[in-house]
Amino acid sequence: MSAKLQFQIEETIKRNRLDRFLFEQITEVSKIFISNQIDAGFCTINGITEARGYHLRAGDAVEIQIDLTARTSMTPEPLPLEIVFEDDEIIVVDKPAEMLVHPSKNQKTGTLLNALAYYLNRESINSEAVKSKIVRPGLIHRLDRKTSGLTVVAKTQNALGFLSRHFQKRLVKKKYLAIVSRIVADDIGTICAPIGYFAEEKIWNVKADGKAAETSFRVLKRFCDKTYLKLDPVTGRTNQLRIHCASINHPIVGDERYGGDEFARLCLHAAKLGFYHPVSNCWLEFESVPSFDIKTFSEN
């Protein structure tokens, strides 16, 4: 049910961005949902529609029409989580294959962020908790729905900003393990192919005018008709590892979209994740065992 919320800006709040102010005030829904409401014209300042980056002034009257019951990534759900590490700033989770990281247009529940919204606020969900104590899981990077493995999520705005900058500057170590079709001849190599979006086919793929993308690989083991690879994404484009493996005629097993051999799941796993801690600045590194069974291929 839609509600009309009104706020009067005090002297101490002036110069704050509109979206950040509302994000701090409205804890029932996600920041993305609030931003979308502003963009759609459901928020006014002194009766006038403003952009989300508007800097508030003392005396401004803010009014927003918003559905506080909308199912978003902040809708808590008691779903199982495999937690690898957690402190006051971050949480590292080993995501299973087939779990969406965040809600999409077609799926609003059952995602990693829904699970984290519940886990991080489990003590206050059924109590009269102070709004400022609510923890909003901050998504820093994404794993495909079909990809399993390690992902880090921020618990504070400081951690979100710090790690987002480090991901953009490529100060983070990410290693993936994959089973690909056919025998890869070279022991090591680099795949450089630009990636772009084909609107008519609604698919990401190698595209001449796409964004530059680079992936390094190393062969770990060769089976009779498949290869076990370690993949190092130098850049971070959408579906990059799946696209790059397919571009050299070695699609990932289970990747039907890009021509991989049929299998019960996509054989791609985020096995190593390393980054600097947002407060201590100490280097943290985590490893995870692939959730697909390598023995299945070695026996072929």
The answer to whether the CB of 270 falls within 8 A of the CB of 143 is yes
Residue type, 37: Q
The answer to whether the CB of 204 falls within 8 A of the CB of 239 is yes
Of how many residues is the chain composed? 300
Per-residue CA distances from 195 to 60, 205, 212, 230 (Å): 45, 5, 7, 21
Query: Is residue 60 flagged as an active site residue?
Result: no
The answer to whether the CB of 255 falls within 8 A of the CB of 242 is yes
Copy the structure tokens of residue 139.
């998504």
**CA dist., res. 264 & res. 76, Å (int):** 29
Per-residue CA distances from 225 to 81, 218, 241, 266, 299 (Å): 35, 17, 20, 17, 11
Copy the structure tokens of residue 64.
């927003």
- Given 19, 60, 144, 255, the catalytic residue: 144
Residue listed under structure tokens 């951690």: 159
**CA dist., res. 91 & res. 275, Å (int):** 13
Per-residue CA distances from 234 to 19, 65, 211, 272 (Å): 33, 43, 13, 14
What are the residue numbers of the active site? 144
